[in-house]
Chain A
Amino acid sequence: QVELVQSGAEVKKPGASVRVSCKASGYMFTGFYLHWVRQAPGQGPEWMGWINPNRGGTHYDQKFQGRVTMTRDTSMNTVYMELSRLKSDDTAIYYCARAPSSGYSVFDYWGQGSLVTVSS
């Protein structure tokens, strides 16, 4: 069965960076795009960008350009999302989610979420 398993909760200080991992299993890792979506407390989901695990190509939402980096390790079937220069309003649950392609971005499987808390 398809599973996306994410790394655990993190507490970071403002200005620091955080890296969240998402390990995929149960399907062909290089056959689906992986997206990152975050959700602040009491808010709706907010899309951050995607990575194509096949060739490593990425596309980020303009809001996060320059602060976010998505990478993958095909030997580990794992993608990573690093967010730098953290601010208090980056406090959120960060999800990875699978989509069939860049032009067909509906999310049929989600990770369990990783809580990132930014606090001094």
Chain B
Amino acid sequence: DIVMTQSPDSLAVSLGERATINCKSSQSILYSSSNRNYLAWYQQKPGQPPKLLIYWASTRQSGVPDRFSGSGSGTDFTLTISSLQAEDVATYYCQQYYGDITFGQGTRLETK
């Protein structure tokens, strides 16, 4: 299985400031023939299922605010929230779909 490792485990950021979450895969999840990275990001709030934010590493899901962006390729990926809003407090997960699906362990994002 491809192991997904997120960092940090938790993060405190002031409202209006930038938040950055990292995700590293144990092998490349870039499919060379399509030049696509098989990586998604989700946001989960307590008592709710995860919500899809980003797929193909950098494509924003419809309806997701443009302060959320994804970047990276191969084995190293980043989710950036450009200006943290109160409603962004949540746990964030990366997920690879190159092989059998695996998720990262999650990053808890709080306000400072």
Q: Which residues of A contact B (CB under 8 A)?
A: 35, 44-47, 61-62, 95, 97, 103-108, 110-113
Contact = CB atoms under 8 A, between A and B. Distances in A.
B55 interface: yes
B105 A47 contact: no
Nearest to B105: A44
Contact of B104 (A44, A105, A107, A110): A44
Contacts of B61: 108
Interface of B: 40, 42, 49-52, 55, 61, 93, 95, 97, 100-106
A70 to B, nearest CB: 14
Contact of A44 (B40, B52, B106): B106
Contacts of B104: 44
Nearest to B106: A44
Given A105-B97, A108-B61, A44 B49 contact: no
Contact of A47 (B42, B52, B101): B101
B101 A105 contact: yes
Contact of B49 (A61, A106, A112): A112
B102 to A, nearest CB: 7
B49 A47 contact: no
A106 B52 contact: yes
B97 A44 contact: no
Contacts of B103: 44-47
A110 B51 CA distance: 8
A5 to B, nearest CB: 12
A57 to B, nearest CB: 15
Nearest to A105: B97
A94 to B, nearest CB: 11
Contacts of A110: 49-51
